[in-house]
Amino acid sequence: MSEVITYQCELNDGIHARPAGHIERLCNSFLADVRWKNIRTGLEGSAKSALSIVATDTLLNDSCEITLSGEDERAAASRLAALLKKLPAFETAKEAEPAMQTGYLPRSLRETHLKFIQGTRISAGVAIAKPVLVQSLTFAEMLARNPATSPPLMHMRKSSSLRG
C-alpha cells in the first residue's frame, strides 16, 4: 500500500529551487519512493530531485498529489506533510526598492540634452569601494583640452608622428 498527500501550493512564486531543495533534502532521508504530481499540468517527478520537482511547474494554488511508497512511507508522509505546512514560513519577503529619481542622468550626459527612456533595474547591485572625489568637466572644456581640432588634422598629426 502507499501513502498519498494532497498539497495545495501556498507559495507566491510557486515551487522554485529553494523550496524544492528543502523537499529534496527531506525526501532523500526516506527509504520510500516519493513521487510529486502536479494535477494542473499533469507533470510528475521524483521528490528526491529538486530539478524534477521544479520541472512539474507547480505554481501558486496548484494542487499536487504526492505518493509515498516503501517501508517507511507512513512516517515519511507525516514528516513531509509537516515540511509542506512550514514552506510558506521559509519564503523571504521581498523588500520594496526605493523609487529612483525619474529621468536621472549624470551631469556630463545631461549637458548633451539627449532624449532617453529610463528603464527599471532588477537589482540595486553591490559595490564596495573607497570613495574618490573626481573633478567634473563639461563637454566644452573637454573639447577645449583636445589637442586635435578636426579628424583630418588628427590624421595628419598621427601620420607625421609615425613617419618619425
Q: What is the pTM of this model?
A: 0.58
Contact 82, 51 (CB under 8 A): no
Domain spans in the chain, listed from the N-terminal domain onward: 3-90, 106-113+132-164
How do residues 86-126 score in pLDDT, each as one tens digit?
A: 999 988 755 555 555 555 677 777 778 777 777 766 666 66
Give the contacts of 157 (CB within 8 A, at least 6 positions apart).
147, 148
Mean pLDDT taken over the chain: 84
CATH superfamily of 3-90: HPr-like (3.30.1340.10)
How do residues 39-48 score in pLDDT, each as one tens digit?
A: 999 999 999 9
